[in-house]
Every structure is written in C-alpha cells, then in structure tokens.
Amino acid sequence: MLTALIAGHLTALSLIAAIGAQNAFVLRQGIRREHVLPVVLACALSDAILISAGVAGFGTLSALAPWIASAMLYAGAVFLVIYGALRFKAALKGGEALRPAAGSISTLSATLTTCLVLTWANPHVYLDTVVLIGAISSQYSPHSVAFGIGAALGSLVFFSALGFGARLLAPLFANPKAWVVLEVVVGLTMWTIATVLVLGA
C-alpha cells in the first residue's frame, strides 16, 4: 500500500510539473499574493476529483464517447486564446497597474472562475488525471485507491509550493517591467498551448 501511495505521489508530480495554463495562473496569483490559498485549494480539489474519477474507471466513458474529448479540446483552446489576449492587454497597460500592492485586485469569485475554467476546460488535465493516472492506478490493484490518494496529495503539494513559493520572487517583480514580461510570457504560453491543442486534434 505504501508503495502505491508513493508511486501515485511521484506520478502526479511528474505529470503536473510541466508549464501549462493552470500552473502559469497559479504562479501569477502567487507573485501577486492575491487569493493564493483559495486558488491552490481549487486546483488541488479539482485534481482530486478528476483523479478519483480516473481511478474509478471514468476513462472508459471517454473511450465510449470520443466526441466528449474533442468538445473539451476546442472549448479549451478558445478560452486559452481569449485569456492569453487579456494577458497581452494587461501588459500593454504597463507595469504600474500590475504591482502587487497597487492597481485593481480581482474579486475572489472572478479569480476562482478563471482558475476553474483554466482547469476544467483544459483537455490535458483530463489526459493526465483521468486517463493516465487512472490507467496507471490499475497496475497497483488492489491498492489503486492508495495510488489515487498519493496522486491527489502530490497535486496539493505541487500547487502549494507553486502558489506560496512564488512569493520568493516578489523582490524581482518589484520592478514593473518584470510584470510586463510575466504577462507576455503567460499570454504566449496560453496561445502556444491553444495552438498545440488544435494542431494536434
């Protein structure tokens, strides 16, 4: 059981560590010190739900109804393009409006809505959590549940480190130009992911 728990933990860390729309958003919120805990919990809880579905065999449904994956792919690509455009727009406004202690602060509801859409509208999230983790967990039967718990804990550890660890970068982002660069990088990341999704469809 312990082996399955550790394996699940490491598997989740390896899958979600790659830069992506969700991770870029969590990093940005962490640097801004804006609603970090709710964002971290929303990401970790979403992953836990999807991992549970994967371990329970939800991947079978995707195989029976392939159109679901395609629908999620294109919907996710559209959202990523829009969100990326918003980041470029923020960069054009200049770094002054992007200072952590100044400028407009997004409401908790708006922040969580963006976070949840970036999570649930991203086809890669389903591939990593439902399909891959779900498939790998079957190899640890009868301890697949322990594998799933380990994976969910891995997600929580990663997002906590990303969100709260981002504060260490605060001195760097005291420079308004650094915020402009971050917004541009996040915007490019969103558009790149959207392009890869559509071209790979």
pLDDT in tens, 129-151: 877 777 677 767 778 888 889 99
**Phi/psi of residue 123, each to 5°?**
-60, -30
Q: Please tell me the predicted confidence (pLDDT) of residue 80.
A: 73
Q: Please tell me the predicted confidence (pLDDT) of residue 194.
A: 78
Enter the pTM of the model. 0.68
**Whole-angstrom Cα distance, residue 169 to residue 182?**
12
CA distances from 36 to 92, 101, 137, 164 (A): 25, 15, 30, 7
Q: Please tell me the predicted confidence (pLDDT) of residue 98.
A: 43
Q: Please tell me the predicted confidence (pLDDT) of residue 60.
A: 61
Ordered per-residue pLDDT tens for the chain, 201 residues: 878 888 777 777 666 765 567 888 898 899 888 999 999 999 999 999 998 888 887 556 656 766 765 676 677 678 778 878 888 887 887 654 444 444 566 799 999 999 999 888 877 787 778 777 776 777 677 788 888 899 999 999 989 988 999 888 777 766 778 778 877 887 887 788 778 767 866
Q: Please tell me the predicted confidence (pLDDT) of residue 17.
A: 60
pLDDT in tens, 1-30: 878 888 777 777 666 765 567 888 898 899
Encoded tokens for 143: 């301890």
Q: Please tell me the predicted confidence (pLDDT) of residue 69.
A: 59
Q: Please tell me the predicted confidence (pLDDT) of residue 62.
A: 58
How many helices, marked H, and strands, marked E, lie in the chain? 10, 0
**Whole-angstrom Cα distance, residue 98 to residue 164?**
19
CA distances from 166 to 24, 65, 105, 190, 193 (A): 11, 39, 18, 19, 22
